[in-house]
Structure 1
């Protein structure tokens, strides 16, 4: 493809991925996991589903790292995988009023439970070990004030529910929709037992062990240099576990490259547009542009390539690629050819600690 067309394509994928980053009632009691415990009212389990690896969804079917799937019984929408299953907010089939947001549901092997929470757009996140689920809950069916929520999926305990830093001092009558459109709030993540919340020009932290919280003025320069943020906001070079290969900083507009510890640079490649009976298959991913973003294992990189929508590239539902070292050869992952829905907090389907932050 030409340099100019590839540049336009990368602008689109960057915008989509960044937008994606900014985009429970008691479970039924039984003798089997998941179970509602005496410690809390949220679904919990002592045998969490597999979450520390590649996760992707197609329609209502969420694919887990161990090869198993969970059915959300509707389009998965915005989702994360943690504890007993898939925590998701989907407007599919819902009749929402002005300013309202989809309800949070939890899908497990036993079915789907509906909760009373309404996660703000782009705030649903979970830790890679699946223990903690965190989000900003909007009250009044999603049209009201915001509260930070953190759930321990091992006990079902809601360890944090707080409006600290999320509502104006003094309260009063607020147009909450306008307020949060002008000053977005968010759940930045959970690292080493602390939840980090972006408030109204404030940084709020919640210690999940002690319940203590702090509030400071939001200084993005200081945040970006902090250890906890760097753990979630991975920048190149991104090494594999044995530090034999890395994903280096990429040249804008060029095919992605990988680099060995010895300095050997390998340009990733594909077999080009797929064909059927000798003719180009216009329904399949054309493999003319792609990005790489994380390590599936020491020899395999995960990437994205756009699907086709009326002859145009569609990065909103990308297909997954795997590229291997030392060859750099890439191929579409089986089952993802028609595009996938990636977790709300995993722009490449991998835990944030093991994948680059798109930008």
Structure 2
């Protein structure tokens, strides 16, 4: 039998210290096998067999790659480009939040249109996205967030279009799990004024590309961070037309800590972001007026709230109470 000399004689390499990963949410590795030569033999080494997502956000991101392939088949990029040309002009999402905060002395509210979630199931069975958005606007919301993820949140880009066509004047955020520019084009063609990008999912090289693409088609950006490290990383980027969201949910445990906003905003990176005039939105765990005050005291000029509002039968009144 012929042996591969390298396989038996190479000294064992000392353990290397790898730098911390730039992102905490992995992309799915390619499936299949790779061919590895060894002397006169070759072996097929399986790749990605048995790989499982670490948490629900990673599962969603892995699913998106396949979903985007299907979307491109149904709606080619060229057709989206034509739709973007006739879409209503984009509105100032960040400006609307600033104006509302200045006018009311309370954080500007991004109220979320969401039918379901992976953890709660269906939140609002009587779901009419346009009516819910109109109620939010009547109650005093500055902007509207629309979940477009179908499989995990029972959302759709059609909901985004329906809200825009219903005459809602609040700027609209497309809340999608973006991994490709195609999703940005789809958002803009559907009437979005801003889009969510998640730092835990996207390394800086991807963020640079996606943020440039978003700005080019008129979308503002809500860039979400979960930690001081993520904030330090995104502050290296050009943040024109961008606001920052602080998610109070731990991506590993999915526990919520409202003090996360304060921890991040009082850090050196947080102070630098404030000096640069960036707008911050508190996300996750906001259910009561006391929670709104907590976010405001931490330094958030905006808040994003979904479940506690959408589940109510009178969403306009729920918004008024939350902002009281």
TM-score computed with the length of structure 2 as normaliser: 0.26
Which has more strand, going by share of residues? 1
Q: Relative contact order, CA 8 A, sep 6+: which one is greater?
A: 2
TM-score computed with the length of structure 1 as normaliser: 0.25
